[in-house]
Structure 1
Amino acid sequence: MIEFKVTGDYIPLIQLLKAANLVQTGGEAQIVVTEGEVQYNGQVDYRKRLKVKPGDVIEFRNQKIMVI
């Protein structure tokens, strides 16, 4: 599991995927989100601008990111 510390109140989902090095570009992040490859707290979520906050868990390609 990857632990990712947010410096502000939240981080947009596509930025989180890039910052955690799970995708190469923002465009790739947008594609995987819109294709339903990302789970937010156990549910598939299609929102590219989803505000991910501390305590949330993101799952993508057998990787889990715990936002702290």
Structure 2
Amino acid sequence: MESKVVYQVDDQGLYVGRAVADPSPLDPGAWLIPGGCVTVAPPKAPVGKVCKWDGQQWLHVETSV
């Protein structure tokens, strides 16, 4: 079965990890993207920062500990 890697964010837009989208059984060539996921891979975050999705692009934000 074919699948596509997508990138999951939490409710604040912070990158959580990878997930898998499945092909749509009703629309050939379309993907069923899980909720809270985006198709754009996050860039590598510099030390002390994390990736945050703002709805259009990835940003690097300070980590809060």
Structure 1 length-normalised TM: 0.26
Structure (1 or 2) with the greater strand fraction: 2
Q: Which structure has the bigger radius of gyration?
A: 2
